[in-house]
């Protein structure tokens, strides 16, 4: 049985509120994960040039298209412009490389992965001399041409703070539909949510489970979100898993959320979040777990003039 995932309609774009994440999904497992997800009802698939797995994500998507499971227009494929393509003359190069790898003619949404630009060829800077100071507003303007050319249906931001979103909104011709940021009870970012909602920009929550243990920036074993006693107890109360509670926490508040898994049973489990509701009290209880903890810190761009997280306290590394 396939689950019908609700959508949010914004600026003519229908965003499915739950998407499959693919960061750190290995090339040899992600095509199957995408296939399992689409069969079960996922339509929103999130990848990025940075993840190095667009070819296999695209393989899973193309398999589902070629055997008639879905039509292209029913899918919502998102990828991201990496920071080494921020110079306006490089933006189309980044987009074309992603489309080639995905094996698609267009994506449904193209996000700027983050505000700081890097010179390359190092994917991530190893020193400040690798920083590029292209203004992300100029990058945005070059991204707008990609919509004109039909290479992406819509545009969005990722890892932008409210000041940075505001600058783009002030100068844009095509409005960002989403800002994709880290959000979970250890980093609720209520001010950023309030700001984006006041501007009609959808917040998409990433790392809802606290990201993957191998690359995650756990403070200690006590900071494993999926094992937090409050989250676990809430799961028992609603007869749901901690993961399902953590997804519902976002959906309940009108946000969209990305859940990464390559495990078929979890991909299915993460879809079973449309048959219960958290009370306002429980949402407040989850918000009160805040410890301003980021799992994804962009530490390598810490001294970049456009480093986004200065106005949001971070935990120690
Ligand atoms: N824009 C950005 O800068 C940015 C940054 C980070 C993430 N993202 C996007 O957001 C997506 C989600 O974030 P994330 O990958 O950081 O981490 P996440 O979704 O919070 O967590 C993924 C981890 O949770 C496990 N998991 C999944 N479902 C589970 C369940 N039901 N029960 C227990 N464990 C479960 C996964 O294991 P298995 O896979 O082994 O099942 C994996 O280890 C990413 O994949 C990516 O698409 C974007």
pLDDT in tens, 93-147: 999 999 999 999 999 999 999 999 999 999 999 999 999 999 999 999 999 999 9
Q: Which residues pair with 78 in a beta bridge?
A: 46, 109
Our answer to whether residue 42 is catalytic in this structure is no
Q: What is the pLDDT of residues 179-234, one digit of tens each?
A: 999 999 999 999 999 999 999 999 999 999 998 876 555 545 556 899 999 999 99
What pLDDT sits at residue 17? Answer: 98
Mutate to test the pocket of ligand 1, among 212, 218, 294 (most ligand atoms within 8 A of CB): 212
Residue 236 has pLDDT above 70, yes or no: yes
What pLDDT sits at residue 314? Answer: 44
Count the Cβ atoms, other than its own, within 10 Å of residue 303: 11
What pLDDT sits at residue 317? Answer: 30
What pLDDT sits at residue 217? Answer: 54
Domains of the chain: 7-301 (3.20.20.100)
Tell me if 250 is assigned to a ligand binding site. no
Q: In percent, how much of the chain has pLDDT > 70? A: 94
Phi, then psi, of 288 in degrees rounded to 5: -75, -5
Q: Tell me, in angstroms, the distance from the centre of ligand 1 to residue 67's CA.
A: 28
Cis peptide before 14 (omega within 30 of 0): no
Query: Catalytic: which of 51, 136, 295, 306?
Result: 51
Q: Tell me, in angstroms, the distance from the centre of ligand 1 to residue 286's CA.
A: 19
Count the Cβ atoms, other than its own, within 10 Å of residue 3: 15
Residue 50 has pLDDT above 90, yes or no: yes
Banded model confidence at residue 315, pLDDT cuts 50, 70, 90:
very low
Q: In percent, how much of the chain has pLDDT > 90? A: 91
Q: What is the pLDDT of residues 275-296, one digit of tens each?
A: 999 999 999 999 999 999 999 9
What pLDDT sits at residue 1? Answer: 73
277's CB contacts (< 8 A; 6+ apart) are 248, 252
Phi, then psi, of 208 in degrees rounded to 5: -65, -25
């Amino acid at each position: 049985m396939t689950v019908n995932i609700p959508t949010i309609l914004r600026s003519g774009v229908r965003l499915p509120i739950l998407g499959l994440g693919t960061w750190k999904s290995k090339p040899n497992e992600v095509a199957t994960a995408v296939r399992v997800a689409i069969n079960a009802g996922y339509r929103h698939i999130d990848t990025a040039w940075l993840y190095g797995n667009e070819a296999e994500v695209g393989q899973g998507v193309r398999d589902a298209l070629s055997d008639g499971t879905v039509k292209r227009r029913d899918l919502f494929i998102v990828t991201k412009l990496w920071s080494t393509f921020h110079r306006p003359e490089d933006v189309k190069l980044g987009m074309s490389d992603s489309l080639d790898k995905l094996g698609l003619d267009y994506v449904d949404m193209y996000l700027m992965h983050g505000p700081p630009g890097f010179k390359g060829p190092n994917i991530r800077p190893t020193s400040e001399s690798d920083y590029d100071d292209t203004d992300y507003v100029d990058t945005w303007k070059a991204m707008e041409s990609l919509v004109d050319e039909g290479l992406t249906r819509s545009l969005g931001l990722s890892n932008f703070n409210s000041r940075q979103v505001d600058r783009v909104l002030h100068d844009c011709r095509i409005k960002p539909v989403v800002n994709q940021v880290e959000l979970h009870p250890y980093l609720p970012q209520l001010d950023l949510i309030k700001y984006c909602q006041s501007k009609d920009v959808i917040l998409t929550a990433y790392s809802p489970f606290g990201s993957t243990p191998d690359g995650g920036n756990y403070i200690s074993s006590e900071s494993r979100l999926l094992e937090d006693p409050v989250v676990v107890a809430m799961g028992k109360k609603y007869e749901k898993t901690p993961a399902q509670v953590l997804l519902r926490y976002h959906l309940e508040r009108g946000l969209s959320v990305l859940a990464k898994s390559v495990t078929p049973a979890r991909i299915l489990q993460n879809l079973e979040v449309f048959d219960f509701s958290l009370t306002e009290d429980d949402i407040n209880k989850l918000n009160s777990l805040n410890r301003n903890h980021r799992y994804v810190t962009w530490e390598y761009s810490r001294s970049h003039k456009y480093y986004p997280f200065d106005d949001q306290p971070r935990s120690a590394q």
